[in-house]
Amino acid sequence: MELLRFTTAGSVDDGKSTLIGRLLLDSKAILEDQWEAVERASRQRGDAYLDLALLTDGLRAEREQGITIDVAYRFFATARRKFIIADTPGHIQYTRNMVTGASTAELAIVLIDARHGVVTQSKRHGFLAALLQIPHVLVAVNKMDLVDFSQTAFQSIVAEYQAFASKLTVQDITYIPISALHGDNVVDKSVAMPWYDGPTLLHHLENVKTGSSRNLVDFRFPVQMAVRPHQNFRGFAGQVLSGTLTPGEEVVVLPSGKTSRVRTLTTLDGDLAEVAAGDAVVLTLEDEIDISRGDMIVRRNNLPQSASQFECILCWLSEKPLDVQGSYILQHTTRQLRAFVAELNYRIDVDTLHREAATTLQLNDIGRVRLTTTQPLFYDPYQINRATGSFILIDPFTNATVAAGMIRRRAQELDELVGSEPERSRSSNVVWESSALTRAMREERNRHKGGILWFTGLSGSGKSTVARLLERRLFAAGVQTFSLDGDNVRHGLNGDLGFSAADRKENIRRVAEVAKLALEHGHLVLCTFISPFAADRAFARSLTPAGRFFEIYVKCTLEVLKRRDPKGLYARALRGEIPEFTGVSSPYEEPVAAELVVETDVCSTEEIVEAIWEELLRRGILSF
Amino acid sequence: MNTVNYLRPYLRQLEAEAIYILREVVAQTERPILLFSGGKDSILLVHLARRAFYPGRIPFPLLHIDTGHNFPETLAFRDRLVEQVGVQLLVRSVQDSIDQGRVVEEKGPTASRNALQTVTLLDALAEFKADAAIGGARRDEEKARAKERFFSHRDRFGQWDPKNQRPELWSLYNGRKHQGEHFRVFPISNWTEMDVWQYMREKQVELPELYFTHLRAVFERDGMLLAESPYIGHLPGEEVRRQQVRFRTIGDMTCTGAVVSTAATIDDVIAEITVSRFTERGTRADDKRTETAMEDRKRQGYF
């Protein structure tokens, strides 16, 4: 017999309690004395009907106020399966309770009232189920009796929910039309809905594939404690969170990195030939290695990720809001360590799924956050491994559990780790106005990163030609581009500047600042400027986060340039008509460490654009 | 090669969960104690604790709060088990609390020491400086217990605040607390009565004979069959008769009802429960006092 843990979400109005009562009653999990107790309590409250919520709402405050406060656990079994229901209330502290119930569930029942169709709450349930990576969602369209068991009504609800669910990453959604009150399609097939030929709700619960959220590939064994009853035995107790292991396999202990081989998998029933995800065991090794609680034993050729900074989704569970300046205790597997918020990226509106700028997270808020821990964490992304991708945050003063976290991935690059706020010599009294929407948020939506492509080179070398073709290609691929060209800025923004060394410097300074603003708005900025002085280019680079500035030296020999001379400028400069013309009467300091050097007198524009494109892919700016 | 079935039978999952929690208690608290009543759930806990720390010994003592109204069979079984397993047993008695004037005994034929236990228990936890008390409560037993956590926080006065419980997610148990506070920990929260019996059958765990059919002097009160004992008086019209009975739960002789039964083995018991129309706590007078009797006692620090 297998075990299926599922969660039910919804309010009393959706008929959730009626459905649970029906399942419990029909599977004989409610017995006569409980039934009598409900009858007694219903009579006392003067209700004309039996309120099945009284079966689950055990607390005095719940009964008095007629609301469900906390997650209630209910149990029933059929000949095929044992079920644990985490029944989450619909109104109060909704997100907190649903997240709690969903964290251990393999299936979520989302109840929809057939009369009202898909409402905000139905979407909220679906979103949270997807967020917590519940493998199976069962959408039960209830109260079909009140819409005359209409197939059209059912189908339109299914169509509407499907459209919504296509935006979520849910592996499996099943739709079943039911009437919990009358029992249609709950345990027995409905005679009133002959048009429906799918499974009944209970049949689906009994047959849905279990264990699909278990990871049987990546062996992860966080040590709970060392077991050392006498000199001759030294074992490490824990639960296999994922993967499998057999004696003789080579393992690594994290964080020490020491390796050994598995000697035994010890239990009271004798040593085992293999352990798998979920098993509690005591593991002994061939070598004497210092191992204690919080260490993780893994296979040598399959290591988890390790980082002290990572991206995660936080569900805030406390009345006391997130303190972005504060520190928390992070509990992950069997470890506790200190954690700080490096950046609060955004809050997700659970009803609209929109991302919003946020300065804190309140009770029931869900947000994307980058956390820093004092020591590296050994984890897998939650999507791959629920057990090693999840954590809780604990308030170090009250010891309350304040947040549930799901790790998405390691924080990606250094530039995301350090603040990009520039140091300024002048205007130091001006407060840097950080946009409430962060670059990371914009980049997330753009599906590419921001960056500055700084094309430098002699006049006529082909900077603009290359940039224009590249920009067209970027535009076609949906990339947010922004173009700054030497000629066009000098018409307006820099119309007051000439070509003296000082003015050139100021010209580049202004352009670099504008480029930076555009970068912060998530754009890929193409700057085409002769920018002959290494110091000016270095200044532009200094404003830009590491890894986001690409100096592209567009190279072409002076001989070729003089021959090309499309604007006739070289001819005029050589005649002495243009003072301080770069390459003729003013120096050009060749880049010594450009990210890319392209030679327009050797390669075609198309080839050069291709080379730049490849480089952007390689550096992770673009990812197609 | 053998094909390995990665889907563990549900009993193995429940067992692993309980073992994980028992180890977490030991790792996260300083002086855990196991509350031992002599009933099948606490016997199961002892059994699971042996497995959790094998080949080591159970690293915490058992605490028995003796009401003085125990079945003699319970005490005999307790002492035998303690010797077999090799675990330390601590006993504190309600009688001492009465003698010390800590509590006042209820009077009359329906008197029970059930509520008095709470004081003795909290005194004992303070005496042994226990910061975690492991108990055998299950969520299926009673509706207030349906909302109980695995790691259930208690304030300095041993009280439970059901509206302000720490959420428990995944299998991450937050055992942090301030000085003077403690935890009640319930490793078998997710087991049902049937699960307990199925497990006992599978592992061939020995149980007190009270759980199986035997001939006993009983009398009927409020629809329950109570055992004749020196601790309980009779109301007018209550007649003692001898019957084949067994107990589904074991508490005090004053408040634990027997059921008429011929079940002599675990298999028989399982067959009986399968067709039963009543829950096991239906035999408990202490739960029937008011609709929220269990929650009220739990708030005060009851088991």
Q: Same structural domain for residues A485 and A589?
A: yes
Residues on chain B touching A33 (C-beta within 8 angstroms): 278-279, 282
Closest CA to A376 of A256, A206, A244: A256
Residue of A nearest to B194 (CA): A77
Residues on chain B touching A229 (C-beta within 8 angstroms): 55-57
Average pLDDT value for residue range B196-211: 92
Q: In what order do the strands lie in the sheet with A72-77?
A: A72-77, A81-88, A2-9, A107-113, A136-142, A172-177
Six-digit token string for A372: 């820093």
Domain ranges in chain B with CATH number 3.40.50.620: 10-195+291-300
Assess whether pLDDT exceeds 50 at residue A431.
Answer: no
Domain boundary among A411, A432, A455: A411
Whether A331 and B174 lie within 8 Å, measured CB to CB: yes
Residues on chain A touching B152 (C-beta within 8 angstroms): none
Whether B167 and A100 lie within 8 Å, measured CB to CB: yes
Confirm or reject contact between A305 and chain B (CB < 8 A): no
- The CATH number that applies at residue A311 is 2.40.30.10
- A578 vs A42: which has the higher pLDDT: A578
Six-digit token string for B52: 């959790």
Amino acid symbol at B296: D
A531 as an active site residue: the answer is yes
Residue A263 pLDDT grade (very low, low, confident, very high; cuts 50, 70, 90): very high
Rounded to a whole number of angstroms, the distance from the CA of A198 to the nearest CA of chain B is 26
Which pLDDT score is estimated for A580?
Answer: 81
Six-digit token string for A43: 């009579």
Average pLDDT value for residue range B183-205: 92
Interface test with B, best of A73, A103, A338, A364 (most B CBs within 10 A): A73
Closest CA to A507 of A582, A595, A421, A432: A582
Whether A239 and B20 lie within 8 Å, measured CB to CB: yes
Residues on chain A touching B27 (C-beta within 8 angstroms): 224-225, 293, 334
Q: Same structural domain for residues A364 and A280?
A: no
> What domain count does chain A have?
4
Residue of B nearest to A232 (CA): B55
Rounded to a whole number of angstroms, the distance from the CA of A508 to the nearest CA of chain B is 54
The whole-angstrom separation of Cα B134 and Cα B182 is: 11
Assess whether pLDDT exceeds 90 at residue B169.
Answer: yes
- The CATH number that applies at residue A467 is 3.40.50.300
The whole-angstrom separation of Cα A312 and Cα A382 is: 9
Whether A282 and B54 lie within 8 Å, measured CB to CB: yes
Q: How many CA atoms lie within 13 A of A31 on its CB side?
A: 17
The whole-angstrom separation of Cα A600 and Cα B101 is: 100
Q: Same structural domain for residues A493 and A369?
A: no
Q: Is residue A173 part of a domain?
A: yes
Confirm or reject contact between A279 and chain B (CB < 8 A): yes
Amino acid symbol at A375: Q
Residues on chain B touching A84 (C-beta within 8 angstroms): 190
Which pLDDT score is estimated for B284?
Answer: 63
pLDDT tens for A555-572 read: 998 888 888 887 888 888
Q: Is residue A241 part of a domain?
A: yes
Rounded to a whole number of angstroms, the distance from the CA of B139 to the nearest CA of chain A is 7
Whether B8 and A276 lie within 8 Å, measured CB to CB: yes
Whether B172 and A391 lie within 8 Å, measured CB to CB: yes
Average pLDDT value for residue range A245-256: 94
Confirm or reject contact between A404 and chain B (CB < 8 A): yes
Determine whether domain B10-195+291-300 maps to CATH 3.80.30.20.
Answer: no
Select from A96, A216, A225 the Cβ nearest to the Cβ of B167.
A96
The residues near A501 (Cβ < 8 Å, ≥ 6 apart) are A533
Whether A100 and B147 lie within 8 Å, measured CB to CB: no
Burial code (b: 16+ CB inside 10 Å, e: under 16) for B174-212 equals bbbbeeeebbbbbbbbbbbbbbbbbbbeeeebebbebbb
Q: Same structural domain for residues A380 and A363?
A: yes
Confirm or reject contact between A227 and chain B (CB < 8 A): yes
Whether A32 and B278 lie within 8 Å, measured CB to CB: yes
Which pLDDT score is estimated for B4?
Answer: 39
Domain boundary among A207, A233, A251: A207
Q: Same structural domain for residues A106 and A156?
A: yes
For residue A508, the enclosing domain spans 446-618
Interface test with B, best of A35, A52, A227, A318 (most B CBs within 10 A): A227
Residues on chain B touching A81 (C-beta within 8 angstroms): 10
Q: Is residue A423 part of a domain?
A: no
Which pLDDT score is estimated for A421?
Answer: 36
Closest CA to B291 of A74, A19, A64: A64
Select from A33, A57, A392 the Cβ nearest to the Cβ of B174.
A392
Which pLDDT score is estimated for A418?
Answer: 32
Cis? peptide before B208, omega within 30° of 0: no
Which pLDDT score is estimated for A36?
Answer: 72
Interface test with B, best of A292, A334, A379, A397 (most B CBs within 10 A): A334
Which pLDDT score is estimated for B301?
Answer: 67
Q: Is residue A499 part of a domain?
A: yes
pLDDT tens for A591-619 read: 988 999 999 988 899 999 999 999 999 88
pLDDT tens for A449-487 read: 999 999 999 988 999 999 999 999 999 888 999 999 887
Q: Same structural domain for residues A139 and A246?
A: no
pLDDT tens for A500-553 read: 878 888 899 999 999 999 998 999 999 999 999 888 898 898 888 888 999 999
Q: Same structural domain for residues A167 and A50?
A: yes
Residue of B nearest to A396 (CA): B176
Residues on chain B touching A100 (C-beta within 8 angstroms): 167-169
Do A365 and A330 touch, CB atoms closer than 8 A?
no
Confirm or reject contact between A74 and chain B (CB < 8 A): yes
Catalytic residue among A531, A585, A586, A623: A531
**Which secondary structure element, helix H or strand E, spans residue A140, and what is its range?**
strand A136-142
- A162 vs A416: which has the higher pLDDT: A162
Rounded to a whole number of angstroms, the distance from the CA of B171 to the nearest CA of chain A is 8
Q: Is residue A440 part of a domain?
A: no
Assess whether pLDDT exceeds 70 at residue A158.
Answer: yes
CA angle (B82 as vertex; B114, B230 as ends), nearest 5? 35
Question: What is chain B's mean pLDDT, rounded?
Answer: 86
Assess whether pLDDT exceeds 70 at residue A233.
Answer: yes
Confirm or reject contact between A40 and chain B (CB < 8 A): yes
Q: Is residue A546 part of a domain?
A: yes
Domain boundary among A273, A299, A325: A299
Residue B146 pLDDT grade (very low, low, confident, very high; cuts 50, 70, 90): confident
The whole-angstrom separation of Cα B78 and Cα B44 is: 12
Q: How many contacts, defined by CB atoms under 8 Å, are there between A and B?
A: 180
Confirm or reject contact between A387 and chain B (CB < 8 A): yes
Share of chain B above pLDDT 90, in %: 52
Residue of A nearest to B25 (CA): A224
Q: Same structural domain for residues A364 and A330?
A: yes
Confirm or reject contact between A2 and chain B (CB < 8 A): yes
- ipTM score here? 0.89
Confirm or reject contact between A390 and chain B (CB < 8 A): yes
Q: Same structural domain for residues A453 and A525?
A: yes
Residues on chain A touching B177 (C-beta within 8 angstroms): 399
pLDDT tens for A100-135 read: 889 999 999 999 999 999 988 888 888 889 999 999
Select from A37, A210, A399 the Cβ nearest to the Cβ of B177.
A399
Q: What is the DSSP letter of B177?
A: -
* Phi then psi dihedrals of residue A588, to 5 deg: -120, 120
Query: For chain A, how are helix, strand and coil distributed in percent, rounded to 5?
Result: 30, 30, 45
Beta bridge pairs of residue B214: B245
Q: Is residue A441 part of a domain?
A: no
For A226, other C-beta atoms within 10 Å of its C-beta total 17
Select from B55, B147, B170 the Cβ nearest to the Cβ of A70.
B147
pLDDT tens for B244-291 read: 999 988 888 888 889 999 999 999 999 888 877 666 666 666 665 555
Closest CA to A232 of A264, A204, A254: A264
Q: Same structural domain for residues A8 and A57?
A: yes
Residue of A nearest to B13 (CA): A278
Q: Which of A25-39, A120-134, A168-182, A492-506 has the lowest mean pLDDT?
A: A25-39
Q: Same structural domain for residues A507 and A571?
A: yes
Q: Same structural domain for residues A93 and A201?
A: yes
